[in-house]
């Protein structure tokens, strides 16, 4: 390398399963607002178009990461991150007009992970998610806030 610098490669080490148990003691954040194209999650300053939530956190759901489109819809890769957060139940919001599809293969993937899944229109999905989170359930969700 020029200038005498050597680049060091850093290898990612996944968190061992026994250390992930800390997720189980965190609560699922409430979704504080929802309107067409915007969502706000308690404890986050971000405004999301589509989002993923889990006990202890949230982030934008960027469909470009997995090549997701309305059809064929939600892919297992869209859900893996949330499923690893110690959840017992997953809520999927299909959009305000339910344009986002959820293939049976994706539902099977969630069930094989030992997680219960509920698929609803987004306003109903947010209400269900907030109800469960308010009851202390270890719930996660992925929500589409437009069509």
Q: Which domains, and CATH codes, for the chain?
A: 39-144 (3.40.1230.10)
| The pLDDT value given to residue 25 | 62
Whole-number Å distance between alpha carbons of 56 and 43: 9
Longest dimension (CA), the chain: 59
Q: Give the CA distances from residue 22 to residues 19, 56, 62, 120, in Å, rounded to whole numbers and listed in that order.
A: 6, 10, 26, 29
Q: What is the pLDDT along the chain (147 residues), one digit of tens a residue?
A: 445 544 444 333 333 333 334 444 689 999 999 999 999 999 999 999 999 999 999 999 999 999 999 999 999 999 999 999 999 999 999 999 999 999 999 999 999 999 999 999 999 999 999 999 999 999 999 999 999
| The pLDDT value given to residue 6 | 43
pTM above 0.75, yes or no: yes
Whole-number Å distance between alpha carbons of 54 and 105: 22
| The pLDDT value given to residue 26 | 84
Token reading at 55: 């006990």
Kindly report, residue by residue over 44-83, the tens digit of the pLDDT: 999 999 999 999 999 999 999 999 999 999 999 999 999 9
């Amino acid at each position: 390398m020029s200038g005498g610098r050597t680049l060091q490669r850093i290898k990612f080490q996944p968190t061992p399963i026994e250390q992930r148990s800390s997720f189980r003691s965190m609560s699922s954040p409430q979704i504080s607002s929802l309107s067409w194209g915007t969502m706000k999650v308690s404890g986050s300053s971000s405004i999301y178009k589509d989002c993923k939530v889990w006990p202890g956190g949230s982030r934008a759901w960027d469909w470009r990461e997995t090549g997701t489109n309305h059809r064929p819809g939600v892919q297992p890769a869209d859900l893996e991150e949330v499923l690893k957060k110690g959840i017992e139940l997953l809520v999927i919001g299909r959009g305000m007009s339910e344009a986002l599809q959820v293939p049976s293969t994706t539902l099977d993937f969630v069930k094989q992970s030992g997680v219960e899944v509920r698929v609803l229109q987004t306003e109903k999905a947010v209400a269900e998610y907030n109800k469960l989170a308010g009851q202390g359930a270890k719930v996660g969700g992925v929500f589409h806030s437009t069509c």
